[in-house]
Structure 1
């Protein structure tokens, strides 16, 4: 087993993930599929509805690098898996943009995110690794994009859709809404899924609950990726399912 070379995009079967500790059913569904779950802990510095969200608590980069929020309680467990950890320069806050310090994501040669939200330590390390900034308005960039493979994704954010398309990525634009996130009007598509293998994308809920569910299913099929629905019912934004190790 090894850590992923490419953040969020496994090259083999995923053995370990980081997932929200708020939803016992999520860990149970993943573990039934042979995946070991590292559960997030509540970070009370973040807004109430997203205090367990992995995509706001961490930002993985290549070469075993992982950023966590300053003074994050996740550090011992992630170090034990072999990650080289760095903390954000700033403390998170309970309002935007202070809750989106880790909200960017690397994809191809780009670091995608809102420069006003990205923590400076993450931006500097990404630049050092050779990533070019791809600025977008969406501060919750990692939450808003479901990476399908190294060249394709799904999003409901039109600005993100346009920015990624200009760089040659294949992107399916879906209707916003129709994803549960208690405490907010809606959640994000990236927040309700994560890769379990190169050809498997797990969803916290059923695609049929979304009006564009069939379009998403067809798009995934066109990319030779199968949806894995972890339970029946509405899609739920759980802060993403972050693959950590693979075989």
Structure 2
């Protein structure tokens, strides 16, 4: 077993993924049938229902076996992940229900660059970035990870215009799509980044079908152009689960 070196970017077919505990039976079974061990989050009781199980809100993968975890859920996740060989660091920021008090760990990492509203980034993550020479760029968006699908170390998909424009200034290729068409219970819609993740260098998983996304054909074409096939995990309409976070391969 090898740990994913660069967050979100496995170089081979993954063996372990961190997901929302509410991923659903069909999507979970599809992953298991592919030989992927599913590690589920625990409820973060401080959050509203829609995001209380989202891994990308409470966990930030720094790289390799290093994870920064919100103190809200640290004591429950640490035993589960530590026995898999992960080194967990408790973040400094206690998360609360509403924005911006729930975004400290939801940081977008694209290769050696990261994007976040730096007014709210957890201090532990900032120290890790400095140690690992990760260039953190300020944007106004706080939910940068869940709003962005990481395609490779130089490419992303997002519906956030300002984030896309900033990313492109730093050499990141970006497919900008229209928002909507993604289910997030209790809210108008979810985000493309929170609805999937890479299962290998050449396979992108989404929780359900993309039929209701206006730019679905653009997503398929963009991924095909990057040499990536799409794996649909369930027969449902695509839904936001706070990312599928690949951890080992």
Q: Give the TM-score range, shorter chain.
A: over 0.9
Q: How many residues are treated as equivalent by the alignment?
A: 246
Question: Unpaired segments of 5 or more residues in structure 2?
Answer: none
Alpha-carbon separation, structure 2, partners of 1:96 and 1:209: 27
Q: Within 5 Å, which residues of 2 pair with 1:18-33?
A: 18-25=18-25, 26-33=27-34
What are the superposed Cα offsets for residues 155-187 of structure 1, whole Å, 9 maximum, x if unpaired? Answer: 000011101111111110000111110011111
The residue aligned with 1:8 is 8
Q: Distance in 2 between matches of 1:63 and 1:28?
A: 26
Is 1:218 aligned to 2:221, yes or no?
yes
Does residue 1:176 correspond to 2:179, yes or no? Answer: yes
CA distance in 2, matches of 1:99, 1:48: 13
Q: TM-score, normalised by structure 2?
A: 0.95
Report Cα offsets for 1:121-179 as digits up to 9, x if no partner.
Answer: 21122112111211111100100110111111100000111011111111100001111
Q: Contact conserved, 1:3 with 1:82, CA < 8 A, in 2?
A: no
Residue 116 (structure 1) shift: 1.8
CA distance in 1, matches of 2:218, 2:109: 26
1:193·1:203 contact (CA, 8 Å) conserved in 2? yes
TM-score (norm 1): 0.96
Shift of 1:71: 4.4
1:63: how far off?
A: 3.8
RMSD: 1.2
Structure 1 residues 85-111: Cα deviation after superposition (integer angstroms, max 9, x where no partner)? 111102110111111111103222222
Aligned to 1:69: 70
Partner of 1:245: 248
Q: Pairwise mapping of residues 221-236 of structure 1 onto structure 2 (< 5 A)?
A: 221-236=224-239
Q: Name the structure 2 match of 1:142.
A: 145
